[in-house]
Amino acid sequence: MTAISDRPQMQPEEFEELARGAARTLERLRLEFIDGKLRVKPVPDGDHGRIVQWLFRTCTRARPELHLHDQGLRIEGPHPHGGYARPDGTLAHEDAFVGEGEWAGTDAVLMVVEVASYDSDTDRRDRVEKPRAYGESGVPVYLLIDRDSAEVTVYSQPDGVRYETAHTVPFGKAVRLPEPVGIVLDTEPLKNWVR
């Protein structure tokens, strides 16, 4: 017997229709559908945007063939309802999503990035649901830039259920993004963009 909390709020097709309508109505509203639950991401603030810019420049300097995309992803995995996530950045080859619509599969994704926002859902969304969803989907690396704790966590080695490895460092220390990314990040600049 399925528990009430395991029932989806809507079907994936209904979510797609809702997301299209919301995008037309509220340009900066960012909807996600994870574990059968509708989620609303807060509108990014200026520091959040600056962190994404910094990461884009850092990644493209180290690996010019890559691009940090703003691409919605279809999340596949054992959850029977699938899902849709809108990472703050999706690292892939520059042409990885040519011809794709608003929601793409994760096959071409090397890394997803989330910059933790200052809201009540951050803990559940970025630290619990997202690592599980991205790990289930086989995304090789999940980078969480956590402004609340002033730390960076690199999740890697997805096994189809979760990430087997999570490495956390405080802002200011260098951290290696494992293959297939293969970039070392100097996180010192992140100290400038936290409250």
127: buried, middle or exposed (CB in 10 Å: 19+, 13-18, 0-12)?
middle
Q: Give the pLDDT of residue 28.
A: 56
pLDDT in tens, 159-182: 988 899 999 999 999 999 999 999
| Percent of the chain whose predicted confidence (pLDDT) is above 90 | 54
5 pLDDT tier (thresholds 50, 70, 90): low
- What residues does 133 pair with on adjacent strands? none
38 pLDDT tier (thresholds 50, 70, 90): confident
What domains can be seen in the chain, in order of their start residue? 43-193 (3.90.1570.10)
Contacts for 188 with CB less than 8 Å, ≥ 6 apart: 171, 172
pLDDT in tens, 91-126: 999 999 999 998 999 999 999 999 987 766 666 777
Q: Give the pLDDT of residue 91.
A: 97
Region label for 54, one of left (φ > 0), alpha (ψ between -120 and 50) or beta (otherwise)? alpha
Most confident of the following: 13-22, 83-92, 119-128, 179-188? 179-188
What pTM was estimated for this model as a whole? 0.82
pLDDT in tens, 50-84: 999 999 999 999 999 999 999 999 987 655 556 88
How much is the average pLDDT of 121-144? 84
143: buried, middle or exposed (CB in 10 Å: 19+, 13-18, 0-12)?
buried
- What residues does 115 pair with on adjacent strands? 145
Which residue from 123, 137, 154 is spatially nearest to 84, judged by alpha carbons? 137
Alpha helices in 63-160 (DSSP H): 122, 130-136
Q: How far apart are CA 133 and CA 147, in angstroms?
A: 21
Q: Give the pLDDT of residue 81.
A: 57
Residue 3 has pLDDT above 70, yes or no: no
Residue 33 has pLDDT above 60, yes or no: yes
